[in-house]
Chain A
C-alpha cells in the first residue's frame, strides 16, 4: 500500500473530505457525549446550529472568530512558503503591547488618528518579534520552529513585566494596564452587534493575501518555495527574499491581531489577553489545509463551536470542555483525511507472477 500524487485537486473533493471528517468526528465523540449524559445528536445540533439562529448569536460567532482569522491567516501565509512560524502567539502579544503603548500615550488624539497608529505599531511590533528567527533561518539555516516557538514565552514575560512594572494599573494596583482612552475604542462594524471594524480588516487582509498567493508573480514564487525549495532555487527564484517576506508579513499580521484585540475588545493590556490565539491559528491554518478561504471557514466554524458549546453545556448540562474535545477530534480527523486531497491510495502495486 502506498500513496500516489493525484494529477489534479478539484474543490469538490475537499468538501467531500471535510464532510467525511465531520462524520468521523461525530462517530468518535458521540459515545463521550452520551457518557456525559446527553443525546449526541442534539448536542451536535446545539453546538453547530444554535448560535446561527439569532443575529446576536451570529455576532458572537464572528466576534470570537475574528482574532483567529488573523492568526490563522498569518500562520497559513508563512506555512505556504515553507516557513514554519509557530510564533504567532508571541507576535500577537507584542502587537498588543505596542498598541497599548501607543494608546496610553495618545493623549487627546482623535480616534481616526490614534487607532491607525495603534494598529501600525502592533504590526511593526509583531514583525520585529519575528525578524530574528527569520534572519537566523534565512542566513544560517537555524530551524525556525524552535526559535519562533521559544520566543512565545519570552513575549508573555515581556507583557507580564510591563504589567507588573511601569504599566501597573494606577487605580486598582492590579497587574493590568489602565483602560485606554475612550477614543481609541475601535468602532463597531454593524450597529447593535459586537462585530467590530477588526472583522472588516481581517476579511480585507484575507482577500489580499488570497489574491497575492493565488494570482500574483510573488505568490507563484511563494508556492514554489513552499513545496520544493531546491527546485524553486534552481528555477531562479530568490528564495531568501521570499522566505523573509513571508516570515515578516506573517509576523506583522499576527501582531496586528494583537492590536485589534486591544483596541476593539479588551481596551487594556492584560496577562490573559490571548487565550492561545496564536496556537489556535496554527490549528486553524492546518485544518484549512493552508488554503486562505479555508482559514475563514475554519475560523468561523471554531467561533461557532465555541459559542455553541456554551449553549449546549447550558441546555444539556454537559461540561463545556466537550466542545474542546470535539474541536480536537475534528482537527485530527480533518488532518488525516485531507491527505487524500493531494494523494490517492494504491493498495497493491502489481501482483507478482
Chain B
C-alpha cells in the first residue's frame, strides 16, 4: 500500500507504504495524531486517499465504502463497538446481512455456532449483547468482521477497553486466527509491550509517515520508544544544541523564583482505577516543566484535574499558595492558573467569531455601560491576531479556523488573563511546521517573562526543545525527573517505556 492523505495544509499521511501478509500480525505503532486512524479509515473506505493505491492479493482495490471493503475481505474492529445492546448476538450478526424476505433466527444461530467453532471463538448466539462483558462484546465484533469471509482483519486499539485477562485471551485468539485460519491481522496500537508481544512485524507511524518497518525480533521497547516519539529525528541534536545557551539562564543563573504551582499527592480515580497516583510537582515562576509520557499514562486525567474540568479524587493543587481543588475552572483562573487542554473543539465555540471567543473568558472587560463595545472587542482581537500571527479576521467564525490558528486563539486567550501558571496539553499536536515553531517560541517567551508553564506532551522533540525540566509519567506515576539540558534521549526513552 502506498497512500498519501492531507487535510488542509497539514499532511495527515504522506507516502505511507506497508504490507500485511496472511498468517501474520502486522502492528502499526504510533502516537495519537500520528495518522493511524486516518490510515484505518482509508482502508475501510470511510475516507478517500489523495494519492496512492491499495493492493489486495496483487490487484488494485478501489475501496469506496465500508461495504466494498467488506466484500474485498477487509474486516474492521474499532474501539467503539457498533452493536445493538438489547439484541442477541445472533440478531446483531443478522443485522449486517438481513437479506430479503423472511429472516430465520434459527439459521442465524447456526451461523454463529459455525463461525465460533471455525475460528475457535467462544460466543453464545443467544446472549444479550449488553449483558456481555466488554471482552465478550469485542469477540462479537470480531465475529461480525469474520462473518463476511474476512481475509484481512484490522483491529484498532483493541486493548484500550480490556482488562489484562481479556487482553491475554484476545492475543491467543488473534494468534489462532493467523496461524490456523491464515488471516492477515493489522494491529493498530500505541502500546509497545503489546505490540512486541503479539506482532510478527512492526511499522512505526510518526507524523504521517512510516519511519520504520522491522521484524519483531529485531526490536526492543527502548528502540520502539525512540522511533515512536522521534528521538531518531536527525534534527534533534541540532535543536537541543541550539536551545542550550538560553535555557539554563532561567532556571539556574537567577536567584530561585517563587513557587507558583505546587501539586501534592494527586490521586485521580476513574471507575475504580487510579489513573494518576501520588503525583507531586512544583513549578517556579519562569520555568517550563514538561510532563512527558506515552499516551494513556494518565496525562489526560492530570490535565483535566489541573484545569478544573474534573476535580481530582485526592490531593492538593496550590496556585500561588491557594488550594484550588474544588474551585472549578473559574476558581483556578482567579487564583492565577489557566490552560489549554487537548481537545480544541471543546474550548472554542465554533459558531462565535474569533473576537467573541477571545472575549469570552471575561466579556465585561469590553463593556461600556451595559453594552459590549464591538469596536473594543475587534481592536483587542486585531492585536492578538497580529501578536500571535493568527491567520483570520476578528469576525470570522472560529469553527472555520485551522487547528494551528485555533490553537493560537486559545493560547492568546490563556495568556490574556496574565496567568502566573499556564498548563498546556499537547501544544502542537496536529499543527504544521511553522505553527509548531511559533507556538513553541511563544511558550518560551512567556516563560522568560515570568510565567510558570506546564507542558504535557508526548513529543520528545518538543519536550527537549522547550522545557527546563522534564518529569516522566508512567502508569500515572512520576518515574523520573531530568534537567532537559543534560537529559539524553536514551534515558528519557527508557523512563517513558517504564523500564526503570
- How many Å lie between the Cα of A350 and that of B329 in the bound state? 42
- How many Å lie between the Cα of A232 and that of B361 in the bound state? 8
Whether, in the assembled complex, B238 has its beta carbon less than 8 Å from a beta carbon of chain A, the answer is no
Whether, in the assembled complex, B483 has its beta carbon less than 8 Å from a beta carbon of chain A, the answer is no
Residue of A9, A220, A352, A353 near B359 (CB, 8 A) is A220
Of B78-86, B344-352, B438-446, the segment with at least 4 beta carbons within 8 Å of chain A is B344-352
Task: List the B residue with the shortest CB-CB distance to A218.
Answer: B363
Residues of A within 8 A of B366 (CB): 217
- How many Å lie between the Cα of A6 and that of B400 in the bound state? 7
Residues of B within 8 A of A230 (CB): 346
Task: List the B residue with the shortest CB-CB distance to A342.
Answer: B351
Task: List the A residue with the shortest CB-CB distance to B396.
Answer: A7
Whether, in the assembled complex, A266 has its beta carbon less than 8 Å from a beta carbon of chain B, the answer is no
| Contact call A6/B397, Cβ cutoff below 8 A | yes
A residues 2-42 in Cβ contact with B at 8 Å: 5-9
- How many Å lie between the Cα of A349 and that of B366 in the bound state? 41
Whether, in the assembled complex, B225 has its beta carbon less than 8 Å from a beta carbon of chain A, the answer is no
Residues of A within 8 A of B349 (CB): 223-224, 227-228, 231-232, 235
Q: A336-353 vs B: 1/0 string, CB under 8 Å? A: 000000100000011011
Whether, in the assembled complex, B51 has its beta carbon less than 8 Å from a beta carbon of chain A, the answer is yes
Whether, in the assembled complex, B371 has its beta carbon less than 8 Å from a beta carbon of chain A, the answer is yes
Residue of B49, B346, B350, B372 near A352 (CB, 8 A) is B49
Q: B135-171 vs A: 1/0 string, CB under 8 Å? A: 0000000000000000000000000000000000000
Whether, in the assembled complex, A221 has its beta carbon less than 8 Å from a beta carbon of chain B, the answer is yes
| Contact call A236/B400, Cβ cutoff below 8 A | no
Whether, in the assembled complex, A234 has its beta carbon less than 8 Å from a beta carbon of chain B, the answer is yes
| Contact call A234/B309, Cβ cutoff below 8 A | yes
Residues of B within 8 A of A317 (CB): none
Q: B40-55 vs A: 1/0 string, CB under 8 Å? A: 0000000011110000
Whether, in the assembled complex, A216 has its beta carbon less than 8 Å from a beta carbon of chain B, the answer is yes
| Contact call B371/A211, Cβ cutoff below 8 A | yes
Number of interface residues of B (CB under 8 A): 41
| Contact call B363/A221, Cβ cutoff below 8 A | yes
Task: List the A residue with the shortest CB-CB distance to B370.
Answer: A216
Interface size class of A (residues with CB under 8 A): 20 to 34
Task: Tell me the smallest distance from the CB of A235 to a CB of chain B, in Å.
Answer: 4
Best-surrounded residue of A8, A211, A217, A353 (most CB of chain B within 10 A): A217
Residue of B330, B346, B371, B395 near A231 (CB, 8 A) is B346
Residues of A within 8 A of B459 (CB): none
- How many Å lie between the Cα of A237 and that of B348 in the bound state? 12
- How many Å lie between the Cα of A238 and that of B271 in the bound state? 27
Task: Tell me the smallest distance from the CB of A135 to a CB of chain B, in Å.
Answer: 19
Residues of A within 8 A of B362 (CB): 236
Residues of A within 8 A of B348 (CB): 228, 231
Whether, in the assembled complex, A215 has its beta carbon less than 8 Å from a beta carbon of chain B, the answer is yes
Whether, in the assembled complex, B413 has its beta carbon less than 8 Å from a beta carbon of chain A, the answer is yes
Task: Tell me the smallest distance from the CB of A201 to a CB of chain B, in Å.
Answer: 20
- How many Å lie between the Cα of A221 and that of B349 in the bound state? 10
Whether, in the assembled complex, A314 has its beta carbon less than 8 Å from a beta carbon of chain B, the answer is no
Whether, in the assembled complex, A233 has its beta carbon less than 8 Å from a beta carbon of chain B, the answer is yes
Task: List the B residue with the shortest CB-CB distance to A215.
Answer: B371
Residues of A within 8 A of B338 (CB): 236
| Contact call B50/A350, Cβ cutoff below 8 A | yes
Residues of B within 8 A of A6 (CB): 397, 400
Task: Tell me the smallest distance from the CB of A236 to a CB of chain B, in Å.
Answer: 5
| Contact call B397/A228, Cβ cutoff below 8 A | no
| Contact call A228/B351, Cβ cutoff below 8 A | yes
- How many Å lie between the Cα of A223 and that of B360 in the bound state? 10
Whether, in the assembled complex, B110 has its beta carbon less than 8 Å from a beta carbon of chain A, the answer is no
Task: Tell me the smallest distance from the CB of B326 to a CB of chain A, in Å.
Answer: 15
| Contact call B350/A215, Cβ cutoff below 8 A | no
Whether, in the assembled complex, B490 has its beta carbon less than 8 Å from a beta carbon of chain A, the answer is no
Task: List the B residue with the shortest CB-CB distance to A225.
Answer: B349
| Contact call A237/B360, Cβ cutoff below 8 A | yes
Task: List the A residue with the shortest CB-CB distance to B49.
Answer: A352
Residue of A5, A219, A236, A350 near B350 (CB, 8 A) is A5
Given A220-B360, A228-B349, answer yes or no on A5-B399 (Cβ-Cβ < 8 Å): yes
| Contact call B352/A236, Cβ cutoff below 8 A | no
Task: Tell me the smallest distance from the CB of A7 to a CB of chain B, in Å.
Answer: 5
| Contact call A224/B360, Cβ cutoff below 8 A | yes
| Contact call B347/A235, Cβ cutoff below 8 A | yes
Task: Tell me the smallest distance from the CB of B378 to a CB of chain A, in Å.
Answer: 13
Residues of A within 8 A of B307 (CB): 234
| Contact call B364/A217, Cβ cutoff below 8 A | yes
Task: List the B residue with the shortest CB-CB distance to A237.
Answer: B360
- How many Å lie between the Cα of A105 and that of B330 in the bound state? 48
| Contact call A231/B347, Cβ cutoff below 8 A | yes
B residues 328-364 in Cβ contact with A at 8 Å: 329-330, 333, 338, 341, 345-352, 356-357, 359-364
- How many Å lie between the Cα of A228 and that of B49 in the bound state? 31
Task: Tell me the smallest distance from the CB of B143 to a CB of chain A, in Å.
Answer: 31
Residues of A within 8 A of B48 (CB): 349-350, 352
Residues of A within 8 A of B50 (CB): 350, 353
Task: Tell me the smallest distance from the CB of B183 to a CB of chain A, in Å.
Answer: 27
Residue of A7, A8, A221 near B360 (CB, 8 A) is A221
- How many Å lie between the Cα of A7 and that of B392 in the bound state? 10
Interface residues of B (CB under 8 A from A): 48-51, 62, 64, 307, 309, 329-330, 333, 338, 341, 345-352, 356-357, 359-364, 366-367, 370-372, 374, 395-397, 399-400, 413
Between A and B, 21 residue pairs with Cβ closer than 8 Å are A5-B397, A5-B400, A7-B400, A8-B397, A216-B367, A216-B370, A221-B363, A223-B351, A224-B356, A228-B345, A231-B346, A231-B349, A234-B346, A235-B347, A236-B329, A236-B361, A237-B360, A349-B48, A352-B62, A353-B50, A353-B51
Q: Which 8 A-B pairs have the closest CB atoms?
A: A217-B363, A227-B351, A228-B349, A234-B347, A230-B346, A235-B360, A215-B371, A217-B364
* A215-B374, A227-B351, A230-B346 given; 12 more Cβ-contact pairs under 8 Å: A5-B397, A9-B397, A216-B372, A219-B372, A220-B352, A223-B351, A228-B348, A231-B348, A234-B307, A234-B341, A236-B338, A352-B48
Interface residues of A (CB under 8 A from B): 5-9, 211, 215-217, 219-221, 223-224, 227-228, 230-238, 342, 349-350, 352-353
